[in-house]
Structure 1
């Protein structure tokens, strides 16, 4: 099962220059510019804010906004905007460019020699579910809900994420974000849309319910050609690699 906190912490421990090189290699500036133009944000977002600032927030998750901006602008003259300016620029940028950028750059990376990427000639895919905190705003609480006990509500609203990922490379290929009240079983058919042939989907025991098998069959169709393996190990040692 995926552990975003551990993986994010591992990336955050990389040296700054190594994270910057990874950002520029995986997400070229041209792709960022294309996503901004495609969504009409090329003229409306803050000109001093690099389009990949939001991506850098993930790579530099332990650093302050102004420190991240300083890392991205290391060779450019000029001052550093205040945190409030960067926050407002991030809000104006919105989610649309990031969605367009993800469609361009997210791809499966596993090769036949990659450990855990293939099983008997078929690419392995895993369905993972997890919960993430989101910003503590009234809009997020209305849309996604907030956990809590009978005595007190949780500190943050939360979203439930169901992801289709490649275990061999840890690439999160497709994902669906719903309210905290949503059940993974009812979410599964949407992100589990695989290409026609050559894939093995590794799922947890919760997905063995007959109702889910019927939903999966309707979503996949009779000619899908995709095999499903049920994993009863928690966590599955194969997926942990």
Structure 2
């Protein structure tokens, strides 16, 4: 067992500490002026790791999280703080250090599997928004309100989170969150600060607003966005691959109309897609490849599933003040990001293994075990580039992705209530997909 000395010993994240070392946390605390004036039983550094560990063990109270952090510290004379002491320590810390940590860690994870994150030299990214339920406390309701609906609205207030994600590694480049009164389009305008030339942004048809497209295109990043099939767009020029040149506002775009057929043993289902892109040359960026590439937009939905279902287990955020919510959301983003970094490092250590074969739940459970055992906190003299989390990921790689389809289901599938009834077909089917570019549209 190798951990920090004295009262600093509980401040760790097991094997994940290698991605969030003491020096980084101490520098952030100093920069945000949150370092304690005198060393207490709960130094600020320890509280940072406590808040992060609270995300790994979302089902536990902070007193139980503390016992997870100290479970492997046998032989050390450590006190057990009361729940009130832990609460006061988190309040003293505030949200600023966690936001600063996220700013240091965010960005596309470095990977040798460039084919997984780039397409024809462009870094493939995606954006979308989601909502997260927060505690129904009086102090929280001042900022966060309940969604409108039948019978007086939702049971809990909620916030809206939007991220800019790297496809392939699924690491977060940037994130913003706010009350529900802030729309996804407003948040996309904020995320535009992290777009640049050499990036390709995938987004759904909610983001096809003319003014937003102009804002995003001004960053010099390229766009591939779905829009409504019936949207009237002028035809300036037609190309040999079936796509055509048009304009949205002041931005020149190329339009691709496609019909996608999915054949399974259950039959054939067909749907129409209209995509707009700022990649105007059909020779270097063929229409058929753009249609296939757009499917990767769903990786941002997978990331939200991992945060909301795998990490949180569908639970409401525990913080009961607005600043506490800020602290908890940034902590969630930090934990997600370092888990993704550990997973990417693991698959990179085995040439030819794509980052999408790493299992998030495997990495998450291995990280929890390492926290409980206080293992891998300090690096040995021989540096282990993969670590215990990486070895667990490599031992349980997901199979190569197969083309398959599955009926959309309620997201909280572990509910004891079958919202769609007992006769819904929930099986997955192997599928054959055919893409036809439509050339006779206007």
TM-score, structure 2 normalization: 0.45
Matched, 1:78 2:78: yes
Look up the match of 1:152. 152
Q: Tell me, which stretches of 5 or more residues in structure 2 are unaligned? A: 1-11, 227-272, 274-293, 303-355, 357-442
Look up the match of 2:28. 35
Q: Identify the match of residue 54 of structure 2 among 53, 57, 71.
A: 57
Look up the match of 1:139. 139
CA RMSD of aligned residues (A): 2.6
Look up the match of 2:63. 66
Aligned-partner SS, 1:191: helix
Q: Tell me, which stretches of 5 or more residues in structure 1 are unaligned? A: 1-18
Look up the match of 2:236. none
Q: Distance in 2 between matches of 1:67 and 1:85?
A: 13
Q: 1:47 to 1:114 in 2, by over 3 A?
A: farther
Look up the match of 2:397. none
Look up the match of 2:339. none
| Cα pair 1:123 1:198 within 8 Å, conserved | yes
Matched, 1:21 2:18: no
| Cα pair 1:127 1:192 within 8 Å, conserved | no
Look up the match of 2:224. 229
Matched, 1:104 2:97: no
Aligned-partner SS, 1:147: coil
Q: Distance in 2 between matches of 1:108 and 1:65?
A: 31
Q: 1:103 to 1:236 in 2, by over 3 A?
A: closer
Deviation at 1:107, TM superposition (A): 3.1
Look up the match of 1:205. 205
Q: Distance in 1 between matches of 2:194 and 2:148?
A: 35
Q: Deviations over 1:145-198 (max 9, x none)?
A: 212424234332211111111121221221111211221112211112235321
Deviation at 1:213, TM superposition (A): 1.7
| Cα pair 1:110 1:168 within 8 Å, conserved | no
Q: 1:26 to 1:131 in 2, by over 3 A?
A: same
| Cα pair 1:145 1:157 within 8 Å, conserved | yes
| Cα pair 2:164 2:191 within 8 Å, conserved | yes
| Cα pair 1:200 1:229 within 8 Å, conserved | yes
Deviation at 1:234, TM superposition (A): 8.0
Aligned-partner SS, 1:101: helix
Structure 2 matches for 1:155-234, cutoff 5 A? 155-217=155-217, 220=218, 224-231=219-226
> Quick one: higher RCO (CA 8 Å, sep 6+), 1 or 2?
2
| Cα pair 1:144 1:159 within 8 Å, conserved | yes
Q: Deviations over 1:80-105 (max 9, x none)?
A: 11222212211221001111111222
Once the two structures are overlaid, the 10-residue window that deviates more, 229-238 or 31-40, is 229-238
| Cα pair 2:131 2:161 within 8 Å, conserved | yes
Aligned-partner SS, 1:43: coil
Deviation at 1:128, TM superposition (A): 2.0
Deviation at 1:46, TM superposition (A): 5.9
